[in-house]
Amino acid sequence: MSEEVTYADLKFQDSSKRENIHELDTVGIKAPPALSHGWRQRILALTLLCLLLLIGLGVLGSLFYTTLKIEMENLNKLQNFKEELQRNISLQLIHNMNNSKRIMDLSNTLQEIATKLCHELYKREPEHKCKPCPKTWMWHEDSCYILTDNYETWQKSVMFCSAQNASLLTIKNKSVLEFIKSKRLRGYWLGLLAKKNKRINQKLDETIISSNWFTRNRNDVNDMMYCGYIDTVYIYYTHCTSPMNFICEKLADPVKIESTLMSEIPDGKYS
C-alpha cells in the first residue's frame, strides 16, 4: 500500500513536477510576447501623443506665426499710413505757408500800388481823400509836414508839434532835404539841438549827416540858448525865445486802399 502510495505519490509528484516543468516551459516561452505587446501599445500611445503634441505645437506655431505676420503687416500699414499722413500734413502746412506768404506779398504789392496811385492823385488834388495826412498837411514819401505861420518861441513850437503827435522837422536824408529846399522857407524853427553859443551858420546840405538833430527826450533848453532855424538853403542860430514860424513832421498813416477809388473831390470842398 505504501508502495502504491509512494508510486502514486511519486507519479503525482512526477506528473506535477512535469506539469510544473511544462508550466514553467510555457511561461518561459509564452511570457515574453505578452509583455512586449503591452509595451508596444504604450509606446505607440506615447508616440501618438507626442505626434499629436507636435502637430498641436505645429498648428499653434503656424497660427502664432500667421497671426504675428498679419499683426506685423497691420502695424506696417499703420506705420505707412501714419508716415503718409505726416507727409501730407507737412505738405499741407508748407502749402498753407506758401499761400499765406503769397497773400501777404499780394497785399503788400496792393498797398504799394495804392500808395503810388495816391501820390499821383495827391499831385493833382492836394486834398484828395486818399492822402494819409491830416488836412492842410503836406505829404512827402511816408511823412506828413505842416508849415505854420504862427510865430512862436522854439520851446512853444516843440510843444505845438508834440500836441499834433508830431515833432519839429529834422532833415536826415537827401529826399527830405530836396523837398524842404524846394519850399524856399525863410525863418522856420528846426528840430536842432539848442546851443550855448551862437554857432557859425551852416549850409543846409551839410546838416543831413550832422548829429545835432533834436531827439524828443532832450528838452533842457533855457532862454540863454541859441536855436537853429532854416533860411532858404542855410541854417542860422538865434535866441530860442525869438518868435519864428516852424515845421512839424510826423509819419503818415498807411494809405487806405479803398480811399484811392473814391471821388477826387473831397467832402465839403465846394460847399
Ligand X SMILES: *[C@@H]1O[C@H](CO)[C@@H](O)[C@H](O)[C@H]1NC(C)=O
Q: Residues interacting with ligand X, by CB under 6 A?
A: 81, 84-85, 88, 91, 94-95, 98, 141-143, 164-165, 172-173, 175-176
Question: Is the Cβ of residue 24 or residue 91 nearer to ligand X in the bound state?
Answer: 91
Question: Is the Cβ of residue 108 or residue 222 nearer to ligand X in the bound state?
Answer: 108
C-beta of residue 38 within 8 angstroms of C-beta of residue 31: no
215 DSSP 8-state letter: -
Q: Least CB distance from residue 88 to ligand X, whole Å?
A: 4
Q: Least CB distance from residue 128 to ligand X, whole Å?
A: 20
Cell of 52: 499629436
Question: Is the Cβ of residue 21 or residue 93 nearer to ligand X in the bound state?
Answer: 93
What residues have CB less than 8 Å from 235, skipping those under 6 apart? 190, 192, 201, 202, 203, 204, 207, 228, 229
| DSSP codes of every residue in 72-101 | HHHHHHHHHHHHHHHHHHHHHHHHHHHHHH
Question: Is the Cβ of residue 20 or residue 98 nearer to ligand X in the bound state?
Answer: 98
Q: Least CB distance from residue 144 to ligand X, whole Å?
A: 9
Q: Least CB distance from residue 97 to ligand X, whole Å?
A: 7
CA angle in degrees (0–180, nearest 5) for 112-118-119: 90
